[in-house]
Structure 1
Amino acid sequence: MGANHSHGHSGGSAVPSSRATVWATLAVIVPLALVTLTALVWMWPGPPASTAERPVNLQRVSGTITAVTLTRCPEEPLADGQPRGGPKADPATCGDARVMLTSGPDTGHVITGALPSGPGSQTFAAGDNVILIYMPDSGSGLDVPPYQISDHDRSSSLWLAGVAFVLAVIAFGRWRGVMALIGLVITFVLLLTFVIPAILAGQSPLLVAIVGAGAIMLMVLYLTHGVSIPTSMAVVGTLVSLSLTGLLSYAAIGIVQLNGITDESSFYLDTSYQINTQGLLLASIIIGSLGVLDDVTVTQSVTVTELAHANPGYTFAQLYRAAARVGRAHIASVINTIILAYAGASLPLLLLISVGEQPIGEVVTNPVIATEIVRSVMGTLGLIAAVPITTALAALASTRRAASGHDHVDHSPLPAARHRRRPDALPDPLMRSSS
């Protein structure tokens, strides 16, 4: 992504932005920031009042498997004297495991629990760290053991992956990498403390997504790329493109008649929490598009700025055409990235459809596939619109800056070209004519 270009460039001083450009930018950014902050404070959800039924006396404890004893899996139940034909249990999941508890009320004790043996159950071996469900005094009247092995304990491996990610970002990006990590933290904090709780509290998912995306965009872009005119042009371009994406998505969802219910999670939210799943789908498109839009807009804004610094005499049309060529190449690769990302996320569903050998017409009109098509198409249209919008804004700001600082423009060749020229060589005819 781009860098902060407000501090000039090596080998030559940057032309300062014109006063009119600065004031015009402030006239857009400041009201946008104030409106976003006001809406964020006004819509901030209160303490959660969960209505979900939670099991009584249910705890998650950790332990380490010390030994596994496998036994023969039970025979399949019969139906009319014949096996049911269901999936057979994996022989590696039938048996018991001795577990040394490392948390909970019985820490240090060794318990024996049955291995999970249902369809799709994981396999366990000695030395594995596991999560167990502790159910003391269940009161159900059934002979249920207090400890049941539930899953692998992945906390250590996830922490290791997280540390490796942080070190790699800082090692490559240095201070800019640190700022990017802080921006990532801000994004997760806003999603977990504002967007999700506000939607669960019954507020409009669309309005929550707009306010949340605006707050993320303003804080993360300026924090990561610095307070500068190029960053401000990227912010404005992102805002306009995101608004267009929202309008197009709203129209597409109505035309295709999608209700947002595509899986058990959305069905549960609709029936148990009365969440507007159609609005939730629209909100997910907006938030998902923001992650790619800021990449495109920052790249275009920085590209225009670099072209303007390298070629101070470029007009608005020249800057726009040169940067648009970069944008078209970028969009061509991003479109493929989006489609592959959605295809990868939906790969199990695609395989299931392929096994069923359904006609392509039925596959495309399936609500799940249709939702992903609308999501990817609307996001792509927003990305395509972001290139000309941001490029035009950045080119306008750069040409106004060059015009205001015309007396300060360095018309000499770029530093690298000066060093390559021999002392006795004649000046370049273009440079001679321009001087």
Structure 2
Amino acid sequence: MGAGHSHGDRPSLGPAPRRLRVLVALLVAPLVLATVVGLVVLWPDGDLQVTGIGTDVERGKAVVTEVGECRNDVDGCRLAQVDLVSGPGAPGKAEALMPYGPGAPEVAAGDRIVVSYAPEAPEGERYAFQDFDRGPPLLTLTILFAVGVLLLSRWRGIGALASLAYSLVLIAMFTLPAIMEGSSPLAVAVVTAAAIMLVTLYLSHGFDVRSTVAMLGTLVSLVVIGVLGWAFTRVGHFTGQVDEGSQYISGIAAQVDLRGLLLAGLVIGALGVLDDVTVTQTWAVWELADLDADATTRSLFTRAMRIGRSHAASTVNTLVLAYVGATLPLMLVFSALDLPFQIAVSQEIVAQEVVRGLVGGLGILAAVPVTTAIAALVASRLVRQRTPDSSPSHRA
């Protein structure tokens, strides 16, 4: 029988030589130091006071027990008896105004809802329906997602889930408060991306040279995205005030740089896609090198780029369609108004998604050759230092 070759979770190129490990450490150390300094300098102090419409409203959760007519003479007005589960007055019972009129959501007994509380309102009108409580179904979906990740990725899935949790906590505790306090959104986004990248790549894929190669490819691509995004948001005269959310933020927190916020979203939004591309390309190069004892930098780069071109094409398509989907309802409005395509796509709320999709796509296109070149260079060195007994042709 011919020689066989078996792959585990890790290719068998062997450990990196000491000189390569030192070089990798020298490349990573400044990035780690800069990220730590950025976190320290930009970390929010927590004393921001926000005032404006809606900022003094308290919220809680409740369960609807009965829905009936209001005691006033307003046609269609509905009032619900609710059991307060959390928030002001909980635990206890209260009356809450329900939405009514054309297009209003239907609320029935047994529904779990979120209620707002306005203490200055008249008795009987202090509580009002704000939205449905979607916590239970979202929790169920989260559990299904976590189980799926663990079943497919096994022990690596634990690292992936921990990385996801870390990313969300960092954004909640650092990114959002720092931007709200007036720090440069682009600087905050860069520090956030670096902090996420440093932890999640190693936590999800192991602390080795491959992860470092993927990180370097991701870093170069993020620089490309940041520079292109900065240039085209200025050339395109973007203001960042394109929807109710950004306009509301400008009203209650004038210190927030909305144009910078657009750039921050572009950088953070592209990070996850770049992680996928750079990790895939690095692992592809390692597998190719593991199969060929005579692999050179040139041959590894050429073969891995065949994989990368197909991956980049599908990923760019996915990214652009995701941004198009985000503006689909608005595009329907423009279609109903019979606006010419050139005018519709020039509207800032649509144009910013176009910029995000195209700039993110250019970042992906840069990530593939850059990451492949770095990975091929490193893997070919590992092939040359591999002992003859560890090459594929010598393994049964």
Does TM, scored on the shorter chain, surpass 0.5? yes
Aligned to 2:305: 324
Taking the TM superposition and a 5 Å limit, the aligned residue runs for 1:394-413 are 394-410=375-391, 412=393
| Mapped pair 1:276 → 2:260 | no
Cα deviation for residue 272 of structure 1 reads 3.6
Aligned to 2:323: 342
Taking the TM superposition and a 5 Å limit, the aligned residue runs for 1:239-318 are 239-274=219-254, 275-318=256-299
Cα deviation for residue 68 of structure 1 reads 3.2
- Using the size of structure 2 for normalisation, the TM-score is 0.89
Aligned to 2:4: none
Taking the TM superposition and a 5 Å limit, the aligned residue runs for 1:147-162 are 147-162=127-142
Distance 1:259 1:290 in 2: 23
Aligned to 2:179: 199
Task: State the aligned residue count.
Answer: 387
Structure 2 residue identity aligned to 1:380: G
Ranges in structure 1 where 5+ consecutive residues have no aligned partner: 1-7, 77-92, 416-435
Distance 1:10 1:154 in 2: 38
Question: Are the counterparts in 2 of residues 48 and 197 from structure 1 also a CA contact under 8 Å?
Answer: no
Question: Are the counterparts in 1 of residues 52 and 251 from structure 2 also a CA contact under 8 Å?
Answer: no
Distance 1:57 1:399, change over 3 A: closer
Question: Are the counterparts in 1 of residues 66 and 82 from structure 2 also a CA contact under 8 Å?
Answer: yes
Q: Secondary structure at the match of 2:222?
A: helix
Aligned to 2:168: 188
Aligned to 2:156: 176
| Mapped pair 1:124 → 2:107 | yes
Higher mean displacement: 142-151 or 240-249: 142-151
Distance 2:61 2:34 in 1: 47
Distance 1:70 1:271 in 2: 36
Cα deviation for residue 169 of structure 1 reads 1.9
Structure 2 residue identity aligned to 1:116: P
Question: Are the counterparts in 2 of residues 116 and 149 from structure 1 also a CA contact under 8 Å?
Answer: yes
| Mapped pair 1:48 → 2:47 | yes
Cα deviation for residue 392 of structure 1 reads 0.4
Cα deviation for residue 147 of structure 1 reads 3.3
Aligned to 1:427: none
Aligned to 1:221: 201
After superposition, give the CA deviation of every residue in 1:141-187 in whole Å (9 maximum; x if it has no partner): x5653433333222222222222222222232221111111101110
Q: Secondary structure at the match of 2:154?
A: helix
Ranges in structure 2 where 5+ consecutive residues have no aligned partner: 1-6
Cα deviation for residue 300 of structure 1 reads 0.3
Aligned to 2:116: 133
Question: Are the counterparts in 2 of residues 61 and 131 from structure 1 also a CA contact under 8 Å?
Answer: yes
After superposition, give the CA deviation of every residue in 1:63-109 in whole Å (9 maximum; x if it has no partner): 333333469x9899xxxxxxxxxxxxxxxx75443334445537454
After superposition, give the CA deviation of every residue in 1:188-227 in whole Å (9 maximum; x if it has no partner): 1111111111111111111111111111100100010001
Distance 1:143 1:246 in 2: 52
Distance 1:246 1:28 in 2: 21
- Using the size of structure 1 for normalisation, the TM-score is 0.81
Cα deviation for residue 398 of structure 1 reads 0.8
The equivalent position to 1:211 in structure 2, one of 191, 194, 206, is 191
Question: Are the counterparts in 1 of residues 301 and 373 from structure 2 also a CA contact under 8 Å?
Answer: yes
Aligned to 2:340: 359
Distance 1:273 1:65, change over 3 A: closer
- Percent identical residues: 38
Distance 1:276 1:100, change over 3 A: closer
Cα deviation for residue 399 of structure 1 reads 0.9
Distance 1:120 1:217 in 2: 43
Aligned to 1:428: none
After superposition, give the CA deviation of every residue in 1:299-322 in whole Å (9 maximum; x if it has no partner): 000100010001121111110011
Which protein is bigger by CA-based radius of gyration? 1
| Mapped pair 1:39 → 2:23 | no
| Mapped pair 1:393 → 2:388 | no
Question: Are the counterparts in 2 of residues 310 and 414 from structure 1 also a CA contact under 8 Å?
Answer: no
After superposition, give the CA deviation of every residue in 1:334-360 in whole Å (9 maximum; x if it has no partner): 111112211221111111111111011
Distance 1:152 1:11 in 2: 46
Q: Secondary structure at the match of 1:306?
A: helix
Q: Secondary structure at the match of 1:412?
A: helix
Distance 1:193 1:280 in 2: 17
Higher mean displacement: 56-65 or 339-348: 56-65
Q: Secondary structure at the match of 1:262?
A: coil
Distance 1:408 1:64, change over 3 A: same
Question: Are the counterparts in 2 of residues 402 and 409 from structure 1 also a CA contact under 8 Å?
Answer: no
Question: Are the counterparts in 1 of residues 95 and 125 from structure 2 also a CA contact under 8 Å?
Answer: no
Q: Secondary structure at the match of 2:106?
A: coil
Root mean square deviation, CA, Å: 2.7
Question: Are the counterparts in 1 of residues 96 and 128 from structure 2 also a CA contact under 8 Å?
Answer: yes
Distance 1:209 1:414, change over 3 A: same
Distance 2:286 2:158 in 1: 24
Distance 2:141 2:371 in 1: 36
